[in-house]
Amino acid sequence: MRILSTFIGIFLSFTILASTNEYKLDNGLRLIVNEDHRAPVVVSQVWYQAGSIDEVNGKTGVAHVLEHMMFKGTKTSKPGEFSEIIARSGGRENAFTGTDYTCYFQTMEKSNLELSFKMESDRMQNLVITEEEFEKEIKVVMEERRWRTEDKPEGMLNETFNALAFKAHPYSRPIVGWMNDLESMTYEDALEWYQNWYAPNNAIIVVSGDVSPQEVFQLAQKYFGSIPQKKLPHRKPQLEPSQKGTIRAELKAQGRLPMIQMGYKVPLLNKDPMKTNTEAYALEVLAGVLSGTSTSRIQKKLIQSGKALSAYANYPMLSRGDVGTFEFVVTLNQGSDPADIEQIIKQEIQSIAKEGVTQEELNRVKANVIAGDVYEKDSMFYQAMIIGQLETMGYPYEMKDGYIANIEKITSDNVKKAAQTFFSEEGLTIVHLVPESADK
Amino acid sequence: MKFIFLLIGLISTFIAHAKIDIDFWTTDNGVRVYFVESHELPIVDININFDAGAARDPVGKSGLANLTNYLMLLGAGQYNENQISNLFSDIGSTLGGGIDHDHAKLNIRTLSKKDALNQTIETFKLVISEPRFDQETFEREKKSTISFLEQSMTQPDSLGTNAFKKALFGNHPYAFPEQGIVENIQKLDRKDLVSFYNEYYSAQNASIVIVGDVNKTEVKKIVAQLTQNLPKKNHPSIPAVDTISAQEVMISNPAQQAHLFYGMPSMVRLDEDFYPLYVGNYILGGGGFVSRLTGEVREKNGLVYSVYSYFMPMHQKGPFQIGLQTKKEQIDDAFKLVKEVVSDFIKNGPTEKELNDAKLNLIGGFPLRLDSNKKISEYLSMMAIYNYPIDYLETFTKNINNVTVNEVKEAFQRRMDMSKFSTVIVGKN
């Protein structure tokens, strides 16, 4: 992302949409329109199925660098002109890159949707990447990496964790790229990326807001319909070999408080909607029972006891790469022992593996999922985002419709079984951040 | 050019759509109520704001407002922290709080169906009017806050933010971090929280914002329930900010990037120069990719990922702040560029085209500010805290549209004096 927050994680829950229409153009471009007529506003998002997962060693970070270069002009527009035009229309725009996708978006007064399509279709096919603009922008990206990762303890911790938990799988590499890869990247690398992946048959447009789906479809045909398809590079599976023992590491970083990030490799949601997904939904509920509210098990044991300042469990549930880790990230209080924290987390999992969870815990998780689903409808952007993420990760977006019903079906026994099955020492990766303080 | 005229034509048609109907009244005991009825989603948002922010921290007790507000979420009436939390989360309601220098807030979001709404309001009433401040919970949160602050004082952004406030505000309450300072927090005890609560969580100080799926009759009942037990108390205004001489503060830090903070105390809320300064700042450093600062420092020279400027109007003069981060070897170059850009802007003002573009964005983007219940309730809270005229949102676009190049230039020249700007750099070699 070019400014503000980036690298948006996979959201844990998604929502049922009131009215959603799907179209496909002859060149393979897909369009999904979600109607929301509460305000005269439209969100337009162009998603490319190209993220850091598609990168190769030595060129890490190129997906994100290209995202930056997409604002640097086309055959008929100057660098920065895209942003100027959107700003003059009253719109807000930006972009973000994830492991599985790159997304460009504008939020605008509804009558400006055509402007968005006109400009997005231009940079889908006519981008110009000059060496001069690239050399300036790559420095910006290096500053972004310094700010986001090098100087942030939690950023370094997460990067180290991923690099250890995965070896063969591209999720081992940081989305922003290794610094040395950025240093040696050239404008030709960015160009190659653009030529490989930026094509209508590798893109999905998601529009959410006060629009008529049929009119949006006509606009899409007008602006994107004539863009030729491309033959996309073959994607290798790059599966992670199974882990045979705990991976443990230490990392030094500036600060006073220790942190730990620990995670277990777990199955994610199956991409085939016909398959049963009990395990994935049970893991989702397990994450809720462990740290969904301020009275969850981890919160009671770690926060209420004063042993930690923050602690959460996260189950990613969805990813294009079919792997993920059920993670715990804890910032310890002064005087707490990381080994003690690790033990407490393991005991909580073991206790659920033995006894299951209480009806009260289950009901609470479900009540929050159901209410959360309603609350999310208050954001047009979020609704579009869920559709775009699902689709670029390879899930049919309709799978969101089954989310609540599937969560509601989960029983204590399902959660117990998940806790028994997926949390072995063999599949554990744990990184302990050791604080170093310069001034004391 | 054709393009710009087209857009101007559109603006007048959509401002009408963005209008929201705000119902405003004051209760018998002095609570101001702002209500927007909206039945499209089965959600109710309630924010209650008090003049109980960090600027009310007594001398030597910096951090009291923050801990008081936070502890209010952790136990009330007959319920301990777990019971309170579960009463909300069992029905999917979310409780939150928070403070800045000028106010403290408590907020909830709930489904609008009767049983959820009733249980939420009953519990929320206890949070507001019968907080327990349990000794054990207090001791834990005191310790955690101290740990958190000690950690943050190793991080360049927190170090710089705190030093910058100190440089701008000297001994004024705005000089101290909202979350307090370690030496003061160490000395706080439970009684301090109780007396701060009794003093500042009062009816005259309170405003309530309600947005969502309820009608006015229900809202009147909710407001009565939530606020009838609040005491009546008045407080003097927060003291004015004295102009102090420019400070230069260099803080060493091992991080790779140096962080710059640069500016001076500037605007109050409802400042007579608000519109020219606000529009001017959009052009200078507030308008993201199209601002002059981003154009020069990032786009043309690749020196930063982020460079910004903003005005933070407060009850008294809040900061005008410019900030950036860049690798240490480049900090002098980046700072020099910033000074050139600011100096030129103050001297020459914006161009007609820049002003026109700024207006197109600020006016054309107005509907985006109010496109969700959450955003509407945040805007209303801001209006409530600072007692804005009720037609503020309706007149906003007109006021922006009236700003001229000369007004911007004149306001910046009169209000912004670079010789009075303080500088904080964290991590300079």
pLDDT at B243: 80
CATH architecture of A247-436: 2-Layer Sandwich (3.30)
Q: Nearest-CA neighbor of A76 among A67, A68, A66, A85?
A: A85
Are residues B367 and A38, on separate chains, in Cβ contact within 8 Å? no
Are residues A378 and B372, on separate chains, in Cβ contact within 8 Å? yes
B248-426 CATH, one of 3.40.228.10, 3.30.830.10, 3.40.50.150, 3.40.30.10:
3.30.830.10
Measured between CB atoms, which of B40, B89, B143 is closest to A364? Answer: B89
Say yes or no: A376 contacts chain B, CB-CB below 8 A: no
Cβ–Cβ < 8 Å for A52, A61: yes
A371 neighbourhood in chain B, CB within 8 Å:
91-93, 110-111, 116
Minimal C-alpha gap between A292 and chain B (Å): 10
Give the other-Cβ count within 10 Å of B10's Cβ. 16
Domain spans of chain B, in order of start: 19-227, 248-426
For chains A and B, what is the number of CB pairs under 8 angstroms?
209
Are residues B147 and A309, on separate chains, in Cβ contact within 8 Å? yes
Mutate to test the interface with B, among A147, A183, A295, A304 (most CBs of B within 10 A): A147
Name the catalytic one among A22, A35, A67, A183.
A67
Are residues A295 and B82, on separate chains, in Cβ contact within 8 Å? yes
Give residue B4's pLDDT band: very low, low, confident or very high (50, 70, 90).
very low
Minimal C-alpha gap between B337 and chain A (Å): 16
b/e per residue, B153-165, with b = 16+ CB within 10 A?
Answer: bbbbbbbbbbbbb
pLDDT per residue as tens digits for the range B347-357? 999 999 999 99
CATH homologous superfamily of B19-227: Metalloenzyme, LuxS/M16 peptidase-like (3.30.830.10)
Beta bridge partners of B76: B79, B131
- Mean pLDDT (whole number) for B310-318: 97
pLDDT at A259: 98
Are residues B371 and A375, on separate chains, in Cβ contact within 8 Å? no
Q: Nearest-CA neighbor of A111 among B188, B17, B427?
A: B17
B16 neighbourhood in chain A, CB within 8 Å:
none
- Give the integer Cα–Cα distance in Å for B245 and B255: 29
Say yes or no: A179 contacts chain B, CB-CB below 8 A: no
pLDDT at A122: 98
Domain(s) labelled CATH 3.30.830.10 in chain A stretch across 20-224, 247-436
Are residues B367 and A109, on separate chains, in Cβ contact within 8 Å? yes
State whether ipTM is beyond 0.90.
yes
pLDDT per residue as tens digits for the range B225-247? 999 889 988 899 999 999 889 99
Say yes or no: A71 contacts chain B, CB-CB below 8 A: yes
Listing DSSP states for A342-354 in one string gives: HHHHHHHHHHHHH
Minimal C-alpha gap between B33 and chain A (Å): 22
Extract the tokens encoding B267: 């605007």
Are residues B255 and A111, on separate chains, in Cβ contact within 8 Å? no
Low-confidence residues of chain A, pLDDT below 50? 1-17, 440
What value does the CA radius of gyration of chain B take, rounded to a whole number of Å?
23
In A, residues 188-217, which contact B (CB 8 Å cutoff)? none
Q: Does residue B391 have a pLDDT over 90?
A: yes
- Mean pLDDT (whole number) for B16-30: 82
pLDDT at B429: 63
Minimal C-alpha gap between B242 and chain A (Å): 33
| CATH number of the domain located at residue range(s) A20-224 in this protein | 3.30.830.10
Q: B248-426: same fold as B19-227?
A: yes
pLDDT at A276: 85
Say yes or no: A185 contacts chain B, CB-CB below 8 A: no
Give residue B18's pLDDT band: very low, low, confident or very high (50, 70, 90).
low
Mutate to test the interface with A, among B372, B396, B426 (most CBs of A within 10 A): B372
- Mean pLDDT (whole number) for B329-343: 98
Chain-centroid distance of CA B226 in Å reads 24
Mutate to test the interface with A, among B108, B305, B373, B378 (most CBs of A within 10 A): B305
In A, residues 3-32, which contact B (CB 8 Å cutoff)? 3
Say yes or no: A401 contacts chain B, CB-CB below 8 A: no
Q: Nearest-CA neighbor of B320 among B405, B240, B221, B416?
A: B416
B255 neighbourhood in chain A, CB within 8 Å:
150-151, 254
- Give the integer Cα–Cα distance in Å for A165 and A169: 9
Q: Does residue B5 have a pLDDT over 70?
A: no
Say yes or no: A229 contacts chain B, CB-CB below 8 A: no
- Mean pLDDT (whole number) for B251-278: 97
Give residue B428's pLDDT band: very low, low, confident or very high (50, 70, 90).
confident
SS3 B208: strand
Give residue B204's pLDDT band: very low, low, confident or very high (50, 70, 90).
confident
Measured between CB atoms, which of B43, B302, B370 is closest to A140? Answer: B302
Which chain A residue lies closest to B149 (C-alpha atoms)?
Answer: A256
Q: Does residue B16 have a pLDDT over 60?
A: no
Which chain A residue lies closest to B366 (C-alpha atoms)?
Answer: A90
A379 neighbourhood in chain B, CB within 8 Å:
372, 374
A255 neighbourhood in chain B, CB within 8 Å:
151, 154-155
Chain-centroid distance of CA A311 in Å reads 20
Q: Does residue B14 have a pLDDT over 90?
A: no
- Give the integer Cα–Cα distance in Å for B168 and B145: 25
Q: Nearest-CA neighbor of B166 among B427, B424, B425, B416?
A: B424
Minimal C-alpha gap between A274 and chain B (Å): 30
Give the other-Cβ count within 10 Å of B419's Cβ. 7
Measured between CB atoms, which of B140, B288, B301 is closest to A306? Answer: B140
B12 neighbourhood in chain A, CB within 8 Å:
none
- Give the integer Cα–Cα distance in Å for B428 and B254: 9
A67 classed as catalytic: yes
- Give the integer Cα–Cα distance in Å for A64 and B326: 19
